[in-house]
Amino acid sequence: MIGVLVLNASYEPLHIVDYRRAVSLLVGNKVEIVEPGNGKVIASATHRIAVPSVIKLRRYVNVPQRGAVWSRHAVLVRDHFTCVFCGEKMTSAIATIDHVVPQWKCKAMGKPANTWTNTVAACRKCQSRKGGHDMHVVGMRFHDPNYEPRRPRTRYLVVTSQLAPEWKKYIEI
Ligand SMILES: [Zn+2]
C-alpha cells in the first residue's frame, strides 16, 4: 500500500490514508497537495492523477482530544521517570508522583488533585522535603526552569507503512 499523509489545514498531521482514498479526496477538492509523490499515477476513465505524498485538508477539522487519561504511571512516563525537582532518574519501582498544589489544599478548594497540570514525577527524597507544602514555601523549584506540567500531546500517528522522508517535517518522531 502507498500511504499518503493527511494534514489538517493547520499542517498538524491527522492520519495516513491509502492512496486511493487520497486521490478521491483530491478529486473531490477536499484537499490540496503539499508534497508530490514519487511518480505513481492512477488513471480512471476521466482522470489521470499523480499520487501525492502529503496532502492537506482545505478546511480545518476540529479533532477532539482523546486518550491521555491521567494516571500515576502516565505522569511518570510524561516526565521520563525523572524527578522534576532534583533531576534524578528513577526506576518505576521507586518513582512517586507529587502534587504541585498539595492534595489537602486542592480538597479545601474543591479542586481535583490528580490532574495533568498538578502532578509531577518526584523522588521520595524531594517529595518528603516538599511535604504537604507548596514548592515555593519550602524553597524548591523545578530542575528544568522551563518545565511545566502539561497534558501530554495526545495525538499519535500509527505509521505502519514506511515513513517517507518528506513526511518528517510534518511529524514529530
Ligand atoms: Zn528528587
Neighbours of ion ligand 1 (CB under 5 A): 83, 85-86, 88, 123, 126
What does the pLDDT average to over 122-130? 95
Whole-number Å distance, alpha carbon 130 to ligand 1 midpoint, is: 10
Q: Where are the domains of the chain?
A: 3-63+155-167, 69-153
pLDDT at 71: 87
Whole-number Å distance, alpha carbon 167 to ligand 1 midpoint, is: 38
- What CATH number was assigned to the domain covering residues 69-153? 1.10.30
pTM above 0.75, yes or no: no
Cell of 91: 526506576
pLDDT at 168: 79
Q: List, for residues 15-68, the tens digit of each pLDDT value.
A: 889 998 999 999 899 999 999 998 888 887 877 889 999 999 999 887 765 556
Whole-number Å distance, alpha carbon 107 to ligand 1 midpoint, is: 25
Whole-number Å distance, alpha carbon 112 to ligand 1 midpoint, is: 24
What residues are paired with 48 via a beta bridge? Answer: 43
Q: List, for residues 90-124, the tens digit of each pLDDT value.
A: 998 899 999 999 999 999 999 999 999 999 999 99
Q: Using CA atoms, how far apart are residues 106 and 121, in angstroms rounded to an integer? A: 18
Q: List, for residues 59-93, the tens digit of each pLDDT value.
A: 988 776 555 678 898 899 889 999 999 999 999 88
Whole-number Å distance, alpha carbon 81 to ligand 1 midpoint, is: 11
| Backbone φ, ψ for residue 48 (5° rounding) | -125, 115
pLDDT at 155: 57
Whole-number Å distance, alpha carbon 95 to ligand 1 midpoint, is: 10
Measured between its terminal Cα atoms, the distance across the chain in Å is 21
Whole-number Å distance, alpha carbon 129 to ligand 1 midpoint, is: 9
Name the DSSP letter for residue 167: G
Q: Using CA atoms, how far apart are residues 22 and 35, in angstroms rounded to an integer? A: 12
Residue 154 banded pLDDT, cuts 50, 70, 90: low
Whole-number Å distance, alpha carbon 122 to ligand 1 midpoint, is: 5
Amino acid at 100: V
pLDDT at 164: 81
What per-residue string of b and e applies to 83-122 under the rule 16 or more CB within 10 Å gives b? Answer: bbbeebebeeeebbbbbbbbeeebeeeeeebebbebbbbb
Residues in the chain: 173
Q: Using CA atoms, how far apart are residues 102 and 53, in angstroms rounded to an integer? A: 49
Nearest to 30 by CA among 53, 8, 3: 8
